[in-house]
Amino acid sequence: MKLKEYYKMYLTLHQNKNCIRLHFLGQWITLICTFLIFYHWLWYLIPIIPFIIYPFAWSGHYLFENNEPAAFKDPIKAKISDWMMFWDILKGKIKIL
């Protein structure tokens, strides 16, 4: 499945606004932590960066969507889709309010 098709499927797993908000919050916290890790050169924390979002995203799926996170089936495309959704929220294509 190509990324564009995967992203459409990914969005079907994210219908609840609270789940989407938790993803969005998790991405912001990922960006802030990434900045701090590199700013203070805490090199030993670099490997955790891709995983910072998971407590936020997975809470959204289990508490609000009642479905399984996409990362369980295709973690690479799911991670890319997380950032695509984040960008679509910033651009206003996906409303979270």
Let me know if 33 is exposed, middle or buried by CB neighbors in 10 A (0-12, 13-18, 19+): middle
pLDDT at 59: 96
What pLDDT does 1 receive? 85
Confidence of residue 14 (pLDDT cuts 50, 70, 90): very high
Quick check: 11 and 79 in contact, CB under 8 A?
no
Rounded to the nearest integer, the mean pLDDT of the chain is 96
At 35-51, the pLDDT tens digits run 999 999 999 999 999 99
Q: What is the pTM of this model?
A: 0.93
Q: How many CB atoms lie within 10 A of CB 9?
A: 13
